[in-house]
Amino acid sequence: MSTDIRAISDIDLWFSITQFYSREARYLDDLEFDKWVGLLAEDLRYWMPIVSNRIGRGIGSELTERGHLAHFEDDYVSMSNRVKRLATGRAWAETPPGRTNHMVSNVEIVGKENKMVQVTSKFLIYRSHMETDQEVFSGTRKDVLREDADTTWKVADRTIVLDHAVLMQKSLGIFF
Amino acid sequence: MLDKGVHPHFDHLIDLTKGEINRKIFSDPEIYQTELKQIFARCWLFLGHTSQLPNENDFFTAYMGEDPVIVTRHSDGKIGAFLNMCRHRGNRVCRADSGNQRMFTCPFHGWTFANNGNLKTVPGFKQCYHEELDMESHGLVPVAKIDNYKGMIFATFDAKAPSLEDFLGDMAWYLDMMLDRREGGIEVLPGTHKWRIKCNWKFPVDNFIGDSYHGPVSHGSAWESGFEGMPRRKKGYGYEGFQINAGNGHGFGARWAENEEQVYEMALPEFLDYEHDRFPETHSRLGDLRGMHLSPMHGSIFPNFSMLWQSGNIRVWHPRGVSETEGWSWCFVDKKAAPDHRDMVRIHDLQRHGTSGTWEQDDVDNWVQSTKSSKGYVGRQFAQNLSMGVAHEIEDPKTIHPDMRGRVAGFQNEINQRQLYAQWAKMMNGDTPDVPGATV
Ligand code: FES
Ligand SMILES: [Fe+2]
């Protein structure tokens, strides 16, 4: 892809992005984290705000804003460091590693620019850890993907909204 | 002290001279029920910070033990806390985590309460109740006492509890290192990490109050991958510092700086400018011991509040049954801190502590597995070991510094954990709570 994204047919674009997401999910599930980091742009913003319960006039302000506490507020360097940590052999939360399946669906292209696309998608991740620990993560991703000659796309901006107000998972040690 | 039957007194489960405790305190459902009564219905419990209720009619919901509460700022400015339980059938009158409301209408039959707890309207008061319901005695149940120390809101359900000042004791004086080191104190950022851990609530409290020993092993991977902690470690177990027990089960660990230079040596590079900026003010407000020598790192306030002072992190460990705990973690900053410093503190904190924290993740499975070990019959016949440095308390802490308060030991010493369980036994053995207005 080197032409203007707006000139690519919707079906070709959709195919390219869903293939990219499947590959990304496979890298995560197969513990190929270095390859996964290779799909992140160096100016990455990776953010997971916190959701809470609101009623009445508070409806609509369930998510924490920029500048508030978040579950993740990371960049390329800190995500690379999180991955480095896993490679030390002493990242106890992933020793032994959990077994995950990242399912990504409802992929919808919501915006196009010359070299970028905005995409929303849903995820459902199942994680089994050690003997009987089971975790399910569900939520929404809002991505800005940038065209890339080597990897077809790179994630330039990812906002992740996890559905859980009180996390039933013991930690957020996996990637989304 | 081993498990040879039923003990009438809880102090048989704690042997302070050997530093051994009976593992059944982490797994026995009856002991857990007694804790809800003897500890969580009697102690002052942390609810939040005044900066979380900036405006009239702001509220947030919280827990005291397993009891849900609403914390409100009434239109007269007063902060109150009430059981989040309708006096009719016990439904929760507020299902939001925070917001701004003058009234709470119960979703079940519509009883409506003002944010000072008063029962205001009851649908069908005339036609259904024949005006016979005593509205006045059916308001939301208020806590027995509520108070704040420099913005930190605590409450208790026990009318016989000592004052907050007496409950905190010398810990309040040490807490000034967090709450009063700059003019204006601290402010808690919006957003709370909330997550469930399948461990007994005492394990994280124990970990935060005094377990400086686990750092190099549990957190080595984070430290060497770019998530260095504060203060910076020089080598191995070679911290110079102290475990300080302030009494009443409260304690913390602090590094020691001999002089101003060493304060800066401990700072992470990205915080260095801020340290230079704030030091003169802190020093003049708090003096040598609290304003220069001590750099507090970790600590807990009995029973279930913990903090990582220099990472800008505070948290509560809510009990959720004998083998489950719900962590609530917040980030705080000096009110005076400029926006760029706030950003650095927040990012430093969340990348290390709380839900996705590269440090915290590695703690969790330790607590889960220690809890599981307390469940096996045979495993329970072997004591939990808290013996580190049991005969090595510093005899006269005033020799370290004349202002020093409480009991003090070296930085690698389990004095704070031993005193945590001593306080636990004391509360478990003590008076039952006096919940004002209780009707059964
Ligand atoms: S339970 Fe609240 S009105 Fe009936
Ligand atoms: Fe830890």
Rounded Cα distance between B326 and B127, Å, is: 44
Which residues in chain A touch residue B189, judged by CB atoms under 8 angstroms apart? Answer: 67-69
Q: pLDDT tens digit string along B94-146?
A: 999 999 999 999 999 999 999 999 999 999 999 999 999 999 999 999 999 99
pLDDT of residue B239: 73
Residues in contact with B310: Cβ distance below 8 Å, sequence separation at least 6, in sequence order: B230, B231, B295, B296, B297
Residues B134 and B201 in one domain: no
Q: Which atom of ligand 1 is nearest to the CA of B89?
A: 1
Rounded Cα distance between A64 and B188, Å, is: 13
Residue B262, exposed/middle/buried by CB under 10 A (0-12, 13-18, 19+)? middle
With a cut of 80, say whether residue B240 has pLDDT above it: yes
Partner-chain contact B362 A92, CB within 8 Å:
yes
Residues B353 and B418 in one domain: yes
pLDDT of residue B238: 58
Average pLDDT of the segment spanning B62-86: 97
Say whether residue A107 is in contact with chain B using an 8 A CB cutoff: no
Rounded Cα distance between B187 and B359, Å, is: 24
The answer to whether the beta carbons of residues B314 and B276 sit under 8 Å apart is no
Residues B133 and B175 in one domain: no
Average pLDDT of the segment spanning B165-181: 98
Distance from the alpha carbon of residue B110 to the mean position of ligand 1, in angstroms:
6
The percent of residues above 90 in pLDDT, for chain B, comes to 91
With a cut of 70, say whether residue A1 has pLDDT above it: no
Q: Is B35 part of a structural domain of the chain? A: no
The residue behind tokens 């998530």 is: B227
Q: pLDDT tens digit string along A39-60?
A: 999 999 999 999 999 999 999 9
Chain B: give the shortest CA distance to residue A158, in Å.
16
Query: pLDDT band at residue B310, thresholds of 50, 70 and 90?
Result: confident
Chain A: give the shortest CA distance to residue B209, in Å.
21
pTM higher than 0.90: yes
Residues B136 and B218 in one domain: no
For chain A, the structural domain boundaries read 5-162
With a cut of 60, say whether residue B5 has pLDDT above it: no
With a cut of 70, say whether residue B1 has pLDDT above it: no
With a cut of 60, say whether residue B193 has pLDDT above it: yes
For A1-35, give the DSSP string: --S-GGGS-HHHHHHHHHHHHHHHHHHHHTT-HHH
Distance from the alpha carbon of residue B285 to the mean position of ligand 2, in angstroms:
31
Residues B232 and B199 in one domain: yes
Residue B206, exposed/middle/buried by CB under 10 A (0-12, 13-18, 19+)? buried
- The backbone region for B369, taken as left when phi is positive above 0, alpha when psi lies in -120 to 50, beta otherwise, is alpha
Residues B225 and B136 in one domain: no
Chain B: give the shortest CA distance to residue A145, in Å.
24
Can you read off the two tokens belonging to residue B177?
A: 């290192």
Least confident of B7-16, B159-168, B217-226, B267-276: B7-16
Say whether residue A103 is in contact with chain B using an 8 A CB cutoff: no
Tell me the CATH number of domain A5-162, given options 2.40.37.10, 3.30.70.890, 3.10.450.50, 3.10.20.600: 3.10.450.50
Residue B9, exposed/middle/buried by CB under 10 A (0-12, 13-18, 19+)? exposed
Partner-chain contact A68 B224, CB within 8 Å:
no
Say whether residue A91 is in contact with chain B using an 8 A CB cutoff: yes
Q: Is B13 part of a structural domain of the chain? A: no
Query: pLDDT band at residue B235, thresholds of 50, 70 and 90?
Result: low
Q: What is the ipTM of this complex?
A: 0.96
Asked if residue B89 has its Cβ within 6 Å of ligand 1, the reply is yes
Q: Which helix (DSSP H) or strand (DSSP E) does residue A100 occupy?
A: strand A99-112
Partner-chain contact A58 B100, CB within 8 Å:
yes
Residues B214 and B327 in one domain: yes
Note down the domain range covering B242. Answer: 169-429
Residue type, B169: G
The residue behind tokens 């010493």 is: B413
With a cut of 50, say whether residue B3 has pLDDT above it: no
Partner-chain contact A52 B97, CB within 8 Å:
yes
Query: pLDDT band at residue B341, thresholds of 50, 70 and 90?
Result: very high
